[in-house]
A and B are shown apart, each in its own frame.
Chain A
Amino acid sequence: QVQLQESGPGLVKPSETLSLTCSVSGGSVISGSYHWSWIRQPPGEGLEWIGYIYHSGSANYNPSLKSRVSISVDTSKNQFSLKLRSVTAADTAVYYCARTYFYFHYMDVWGKGTTVTVSS
């Protein structure tokens, strides 16, 4: 079955760029039925959608993060990536990647999540 795995630095300095990658196995990012999303969860808080990308490269972002976020897809490596610029302590969170069904807009497969701490 499809599995997702997040990877990237666990510690990022303030004002720098957070970069994470989600590797997809057991399925393809080229599937026409799915978007590929990033979601985050600050410690002790709820879920916040960051954005999603389609295999064509078309992306949609949370309006509150749009000025700092970019999501890209590498179909040759079957992975997609997140960049969040100018981070602050408020960006400290568990970051999840998830497969998002195009037609009913739900997230049916999630990665285990990776913790990113913003600190000097």
Chain B
Amino acid sequence: EIVLTQSPGTLSLSPGERATLSCRASQSVSSSSLAWYQQKPGQAPRLVIYGASSRATGIPDRFSGSGSGTDFTLTISRLEPEDFAVYYCQQYGSSFTFGPGTKVEIK
């Protein structure tokens, strides 16, 4: 099973700042099977990025994804108030696994 590690665990930033979230896999992951989700309290996760770098429908262009192999990054160029949430990366090899999440909180 591929294990995903996310860092940092918590990111404390102010609106307008840049957020850089990391997702590292225990072995190489197909970029086409790497996704990022946003989850706010009491809500279901929402797809943000799929295929490592493609934005999901309705996701603003301040969100971008990059990476390959074992290292992937989600970048939010300028944080808006609605972006403060927990972000999970997810991969699919022969089964799905999720990372433990990064909480982006208001500083």
With A107-B47, A113-B44 as known contacts, state yes or no: A46 contacts B95, CB within 8 Å.
Answer: no
The 8 Å CB contact of A106, one of B35, B43, B95, B100, is: B35
Within 8 A of B (CB), among A30-52: 37, 46-49, 52
Kindly count the residue-residue contacts between A and B in the assembled complex, taking CB atoms under 8 Å apart. Answer: 62
Give the complex CA separation of A27 and B95 in angstroms: 25
Looking at chain B, what size class is its interface with the partner chain?
A: 20 to 34
The bracket for how many chain A residues form the interface is 20 to 34
Q: Determine the chain B residues whose CB is within 8 A of the CB of A61 once the complex forms.
A: 95
Chain B hits for A108, CB < 8 A: 47, 50, 56-57
Q: Is A83 an interface residue (CB 8 A)?
A: no
B contact set with A: CB distance below 8 Å = 1, 32-33, 35, 37, 43-47, 50-51, 56-57, 88, 90, 92, 94-101
* Known pairs A61-B95, A62-B95, A103-B32 / 14 extra A-B pairs, C-beta < 8 Å: A47-B98, A49-B95, A52-B96, A63-B1, A104-B35, A104-B50, A104-B51, A105-B32, A106-B50, A106-B56, A106-B90, A108-B50, A110-B45, A112-B44
